[in-house]
Structure 1
């Protein structure tokens, strides 16, 4: 029996997350700092709303990158899980209290303004050389991107992952939106002229 795309994604996700989890903490920190340096190549206009993320588990820590982007004029926001289906992006301002925002992460509280990102730094489990990605399986980002598209917005999608999370091929499904670029410890790579 041939595995379908969902089963294949589960298998790939488990393998790539195991590789990411196996990176020693000090190496993850070094690689995250390299990503922050390479992230200077991500172009945007001052005032652009940029969604980032607070790291969970063994994810890259992009907080140095986000704060450098703020210094370059970005207006930052973080994803907040409202329910099993929906995430919104709350503005991250200096001095804001961070609260539990679901899915094991932290973000601004309910008093923060909800923003629509024009540039999204997207966490992921795996990616391939064509810009296809596998998330964590809940579909939060897919639905958030679709909601923005329904309102006529097409945010630029920059995946963030360690090089060890790259795979030969991701089984893309019709609802999957490809990345415009990927940021790893090796640099920023654009896909097929999309970034």
Structure 2
């Protein structure tokens, strides 16, 4: 079985090989897929993330979510609870800083924290996914910990993965803490499980 490290390496190379035009086309097609998704249409408060390392660009999606009157939240690495995320409301005026992974996140402000229980959806980054909804992340476990209640009891915000089509693999080696996703949206289609 291919190791998780090798899958991460090869899929990251594939998505980083996409040209700026391909990235832009994928980001716009992702907005189209999200705009016809009934779960996203019904949701009010949606966590998303700012793309890095060749991930599908979420900026057009964020702009579209704002235009639909959705409350948008971004993840922030929790300052006291190691390995966990907080979610802060994100507006056009939110100040951003680089976290320890050099990923942009909102500057910590306790007045803009949105409790996870108040989120309807968490649009989740991933490095790779397979045909059964298994997700491979970067390896930090932040999202697996955040989504553990969903995984064990279908409680809390529903997770939906966002991905380039080239990040799909035939199968993933799964660990007990991995949280499979009920939906993954790519520029070409939405996968449901």
TM-score computed with the length of structure 2 as normaliser: 0.86
Contiguous gaps of at least 5 residues in structure 1: none
Q: Are 2:151 and 2:180, in contact at CA under 8 Å, matched by a contact in 1?
A: no
- Distance between the aligned counterparts of 2:34 and 2:96, measured in 1? 24
Q: 1:59 aligns to what?
A: 55
Q: Are 1:77 and 1:89, in contact at CA under 8 Å, matched by a contact in 2?
A: yes
SS at 1:79 equivalent: strand
Q: 2:189 aligns to what?
A: 187
Q: 2:146 aligns to what?
A: 144
SS at 1:177 equivalent: coil
Does 2:170 match 1:163?
no
TM-score computed with the length of structure 1 as normaliser: 0.85
Aligned-pair distance for 1:66?
Answer: 2.0
Q: Are 1:45 and 1:73, in contact at CA under 8 Å, matched by a contact in 2?
A: no
Q: 153, 165, 175: which is aligned to 2:155?
A: 153
- Distance between the aligned counterparts of 1:10 and 1:138, measured in 2? 12
Q: Are 2:151 and 2:179, in contact at CA under 8 Å, matched by a contact in 1?
A: no
Aligned-pair distance for 1:29?
Answer: 1.3
**Cα deviation code 1:144-176 (max 9, x no counterpart):** 112677998332111111111100001222211
In structure 2, relative to structure 1, the CA distance for the partners of 1:148 and 1:179 (3 Å cut) is closer
Write out aligned runs for 1:44-55 (5 A). Answer: 44=40, 48-55=44-51
SS at 1:13 equivalent: helix
Q: Are 1:16 and 1:126, in contact at CA under 8 Å, matched by a contact in 2?
A: yes
In structure 2, relative to structure 1, the CA distance for the partners of 1:58 and 1:44 (3 Å cut) is closer
Contiguous gaps of at least 5 residues in structure 2: none
Cα RMSD between the aligned structures? 2.3
- Distance between the aligned counterparts of 1:63 and 1:185, measured in 2? 14
In structure 2, relative to structure 1, the CA distance for the partners of 1:143 and 1:181 (3 Å cut) is same
